[in-house]
Structure 1
Amino acid sequence: MNSYDWELIELLLHKVQESANVNFAPREYAAELAEQRQAAGRQIGGTLDHLKMLAADYERILLQGGYIESRPESEGGNGENFVLTERGSRLLELINSSLPANLQFREQLAEKGQAALTPEVFDELSARAARA
């Protein structure tokens, strides 16, 4: 994998925001995205199983990179769901597909390949984007 599926990551981050009192289910979200892509006449990004595996991998990467963390019980946490951290909120803000200007940031992330979501690389890119 050279780069990330930013559309899938954006969906996962949105689902994290909505996950109070609900188990986070990245594989289900990947299936939803595959259906949306097929309905729009687009490629799903490999097989459905591949997309589901990516979603599970992305959950781990987002957790380890400090983009998401366990949701506190006081906010609907059940041990199986998350909240966005400050870094996760910045990532979502910068890759949000509803803002066309963010496509340029996605390109900058894609240029970094697998290193894009390492905290140091992302923090540097997001700081640069904030200054722009």
Structure 2
Amino acid sequence: MTYDWDLMLRLLREVQKPGNEHFRPRQYADEHALALEEAGKPMPNLDSLKAEAQNYESLLFEGGFMVSRPEEQGGNGENFILTERGQRLLGMLEGTGSADWRRQLDDKGEAALVPEVFDGVAMA
């Protein structure tokens, strides 16, 4: 299994937005699918994509890539901020050499977002 790194990138970017909006992975999956379609790519199965986005939310939270946003930063219990690990993942997915980083993460399969595995790849 490999992750949909473009969808993951979309979620990480949404986490970075300021304010007290709720984090809505299913909505972001819808918007991601529409962007794919507009770019001439096949429309993915929306139900699967929405489920995947919700799963990614859990993986990112449980893996320490994001934490609940503090109240003084607009936290409402349903929004987040990126941790240092999350910022590294964001940089790997959108920065220079992102194709190489994605390939390295894909080589780890499902374990790519296990904190110890991810940290090993990110520090290499």
Q: Which interval holds the TM-score relative to the shorter structure?
A: over 0.9
Q: What does 1:1-132 align with in structure 2 at a 5 Å threshold?
A: 2-44=1-43, 46-96=44-94, 99-128=95-124
Cα deviations by residue, 1:77-108 (Å, 9 ceiling, x for unpaired): 01110000010000001111xx3511100000
Runs of 4+ residues deviating >6 angstroms: none
Query: Against the structure 1 CA distance between its residues 19 and 25, is the aligned structure 2 distance closer, same or farther, given a 3 Å change threshold?
Result: farther
Query: Number of paired residues?
Result: 124
| Counterpart Cα distance in 2 of 1:85 and 1:49 | 29
CA-atom RMSD in angstroms: 1.0
Scaled by the length of structure 2, the TM-score of the pair is: 0.97
Identity level (%): 48
Unaligned 5+ segments in structure 2 are none
| Counterpart Cα distance in 2 of 1:87 and 1:20 | 21
Aligned partner of residue 69 in structure 1, secondary structure: strand
